[in-house]
Amino acid sequence: MSTPRIAVIGIGNVLTGDDAVGPHVVRVFEARYAVPPDVQVMDAGTPGYDLTAFIAGLEALVLVDAVKAKAAPGTRRVYDKEELLHKAPVLAMSPHEPGVREALMNAEFMGVSPKVVKLVGVVPASVATGIGLSPEVRAAIEGAVAQVAQELAALGVAVTERVPAAEPDLWWEKPRG
Amino acid sequence: MGKLITIDPVTRIEGHLRIDVEVDGGAVKNAWSSGTMWRGIETILQGRDPRDAWVFTQRICGVCTTVHAIASVRSVENALGLEIPLNAQLIRNVIMSAHALHDHIVHFYALSALDWVDVVAALKADPEKAANLADSLGLQWAGNSKHALKAVKENVAGFVAAGQLGIFTNGYWGHPAMKLPPEVNLLAVAHYLQALDVQRKANQVVAILGSKTPNIQNLAVGGVANAINLDSAAALNMEKLYQVKTLLEEVVTFVQQVYLPDVAAIAASYPDWLKYGAGVTNYLAVPDMPTDAKMTQFDLPGGVIWNGDLSNVKPVASWNDDYLKQNVTESIARAYYEGDTVRQPWEGQTNPKYTGEWKAETPAPEKYTWVKAPRLEGKPVQVGPLAQVLVGYAGGHESIKKWADFCLGTAGKIAGVKLTPAVLHSTLGRHAARAIRAATMGELALKHWKLLVENIGKGDTAVFVDPMKNLKPGTYKGVGFHEAPRGTLSHWSVIESDGKTMKLANYQAVVPSTWNAGPRDAKDQLGPYEKSLVGNPIADPKLPLEALRTIHSFDPCLACAIHTVDAEGEEISRVKVL
């Protein structure tokens, strides 16, 4: 198991509404695009402190996550490492997120932080318990997938479209019974 | 009345928990634990095929993924009366123990060591003296060399000089309650950094056997989906098995040479904290690490202890123990749910009745939390590594006894006193028990790896039995027990079958943090968190480090499911003095 050079990591809980956006986007991306073997695409769920372990030693990292921002549901925002580390006060982020900031700071302290970090964020409408995206966030999936491809291309990664595209594994959306 | 302090949230990274403590005369007089706990898993699972439940439950919490997956398949297997192949038990056991090792190490170094370790004070340490100290305890860890410790000290100095101690912002350096000698601080900071590599190795074990991490893919109701073929590159083969062994050995070395001695050194430096924080001294642990297909023999002991009496442990020898099934109830008298019922989990309901946030005035309102109050025989009990270590120690469990004696002996040697297991009923006792359990889990991980390789060597490659094969129409009730890193976990399922298909009619998870973080009940009995805080000293009400120490010692994991990144910087006050 060699350490990947670059990772695309979707974060979020698929059981709490729009919080599934991170896992959803990376699974659609994975079904639609092929990337070189040194690029890892991962649905990490809500990894908590393990995020540090997943990002340690990477050259570059693209995160996909739900973000709380003063904007309409479905709005897409891209943040870079500087913004993630320094923009908001530390304490404000801690209770409702799995430690993206803490993981980055920790990786910095340990000297294993990726040089480039991009967070592709989508503003949720609801993160209440239950499965399914809101119409606004569902409509934002395409744009977020394209954004991930664009961020990787900007990092010099050869992103090739699969023909035909595979079916994304969105098992949690499978109906009951 | 005294001064009321609200600590919100308590966990550094994982969850959302609120603690209110009333301080009078420099000590905690009363305490309330409240939080947003995951609720409503049954609304997601009702009507689904029980064979799919584990895939969903492992998403309840990103930190406890494998734990909820294991408890779920066990619950359905228990309902259907399935025996699963020995290989499947052993593969699950190795995954579980690797996960537990990972969890205990991360909890100590990343989430609670800073309650005791003053990072900035490490700058006053002499690396040579620190290396000699480790040497005097007979520790062989390469990371304790003078050269390695000097590099760590320079690294910390660089961060302090650049004002980049962001990750430690919640740390209380310079607090009057910080008492470690500089050299122990330096060793602990070095080990904090080295723990990352160990954490990744434990994760790799889970990934190799579970096909993926953090969410494993190899489980199935009826066994596991790992094809065993020692000659196939695609299957679980000898190369992968030996990779698992090497990784486990490296993790085990860290536990024995670093983690356990660190906890002992901290216990030796904070003797008062072997007196505070006992709280509820009723304990529950369930047996785990089964060594046979029928699940009648276990390598980890279960039992119940009442009022801290180690001479009279009621054994829990099996997952089919009727006593447990009949005597576990949940009270909602003080939680935001309709009514004040006391129910068995199979009959459990989740009908929220939110009566408004407690604004921290006293007395507390009748309902003040989303967490239900589990009870055994109507009494609060504490779960977690301490419960398991005490049950094991009392019963003469060889590995637990060995490592408990090692931990108490090392701490006693540093402090120059004799320590008995009685000191484990405390805040630092919970940390010590977690480290002791990690050492035992390390030994068991390697033992079960060996059992697996031997069983495969006999030509047994079975990993799965089909639960649909002998399915009859009817209603099935099952419970899946798992002694998880935070303690006794149980998943309770009710299944309806027409003989051809199965559907879940009800599903309830009673998680360890519910047992510990739960509120008062109808009889006003305090939950374990609450009771453990009463009597704790509070040197500075503005920085209630002491209350954090006691709560962190339980390894709280609440509402890790809820998360959105606040990129706009909404202010949330962490410690409010009212």
Partners of residue B567 in chain A, C-beta under 8 Å: 67-69, 77, 79, 83-84, 87-88, 121
Pick the CATH number of B3-577 from 1.10.645.10, 1.10.8.60, 3.30.70.890, 2.60.110.10: 1.10.645.10
Q: How far is A159 from chain B (nearest CA, A)?
A: 23
| Residue A152 and residue A39 in contact, taking contact as beta carbons nearer than 8 Å | yes
- Nearest-angstrom CA–CA distance, A121 and A170: 19
Helix (H) or strand (E) holding A74: none
pLDDT at B368 over 90: no
Is the CB of B569 less than 8 angstroms away from the CB of A83? no
Using CA atoms of B154, B160, B164, B165 in order, give the dihedral in degrees to the nearest 10.
100
Whether A81 maps to a domain, the answer reads yes
Whether A171 maps to a domain, the answer reads no
How many domains, in total, are found in chain A? 1
Span B83-104, pLDDT tens digits: 999 999 999 999 999 999 999 9
To test the contact with chain A by mutation, choose from B566, B572, B573 the residue with the greatest count of A C-beta atoms within 10 A, namely: B566
Local confidence band at A95 (pLDDT 50, 70, 90 cut-offs) = very low
Sign of CA dihedral B52, B57, B62, B66: negative
Partners of residue B65 in chain A, C-beta under 8 Å: 45
Query: Lowest mean pLDDT: which of A29-38, A154-163, B345-354?
Result: B345-354
Span B185-199, pLDDT tens digits: 999 999 999 999 999
CA nearest to A68, candidates B166, B563, B14:
B563
Identify the burial level of A135 via C-beta atoms within 10 angstroms of its C-beta, where 0-12 means exposed, 13-18 middle and 19 or more buried. exposed
Whether A177 maps to a domain, the answer reads no
| Residue B96 and residue B289 in contact, taking contact as beta carbons nearer than 8 Å | yes
- Nearest-angstrom CA–CA distance, B231 and B257: 36
Is the CB of B110 less than 8 angstroms away from the CB of A79? no
Helix and strand tally (H, E) in chain A?
6, 7
CA nearest to A172, candidates A6, A69, A21:
A21
- Nearest-angstrom CA–CA distance, B408 and B424: 9
Q: Which residue of A has its CA nearest to B566?
A: A68
Local confidence band at B558 (pLDDT 50, 70, 90 cut-offs) = low
- Nearest-angstrom CA–CA distance, B196 and B106: 8
Whether A21 maps to a domain, the answer reads yes
**Cβ count near B499 (within 10 Å):** 10
Whether A176 maps to a domain, the answer reads no
Q: How far is A155 from chain B (nearest CA, A)?
A: 24
Local confidence band at B13 (pLDDT 50, 70, 90 cut-offs) = very low
Provide the ipTM.
0.91
Q: What residues are paired with A8 via a beta bridge?
A: A41, A62
Question: For residue A54, what are the domain limits?
Answer: 6-165
Q: Which residue of A has its CA nearest to B57?
A: A15
Whether A170 maps to a domain, the answer reads no
What is the identity of the amino acid at A48?
G
CATH number at residue A143: 3.40.50.1450
Partners of residue A13 in chain B, C-beta under 8 Å: 59, 62, 561-563
CA nearest to B272, candidates B354, B193, B397, B177:
B177
* pLDDT recorded at residue B449: 98
Is the CB of A67 less than 8 angstroms away from the CB of B564? yes
CA nearest to B403, candidates B373, B443, B364, B368:
B443
- Nearest-angstrom CA–CA distance, B212 and B205: 10
